[in-house]
Amino acid sequence: MHLDHQKKVWLEQEQHFGEFYIWIKETYFKHNPDPFADLKTELEKEIHEFDSEKQKRLKKINKDFENPLADFD
């Protein structure tokens, strides 16, 4: 477990309460795809969506500052 904490080994367990395998981290990633690829993709989408929402809010705020008395009749 100490080597896992130092990120030198990769622990893999296919089933709950099943056997687990200890790999040298470099060897595991040479022979297996990145297990976090889907999470990275999902995170990038979330960031993009967040940026889009943030842009919309900024546009609305800027519009309100351009003419703050427009709706004040």
- How confident is the prediction along the chain (73 residues), in pLDDT tens digits per residue? 566 567 788 888 888 898 988 888 888 888 888 888 888 899 888 888 888 778 788 788 777 776 666 666 5
pTM over 0.75: no
Please answer whether residues 4 and 20 qualify as being in contact, where contact means their C-beta atoms are separated by less than 8 angstroms: no
Q: What percentage of the chain exceeds 70 in pLDDT?
A: 81
Cβ burial 6-38 (10 Å sphere, 16+ → b, else e): eeebbeeeeeeeeeeeeeeeeebeeeeeeeeee
**Terminal Cα distance for the chain, rounded:** 69
Q: How far is 55 from 61, CA to CA, in rounded Å?
A: 10
Domain residue ranges in the chain: 1-32, 34-73
Dig out the tokens for 59 from the structure: 């546009």
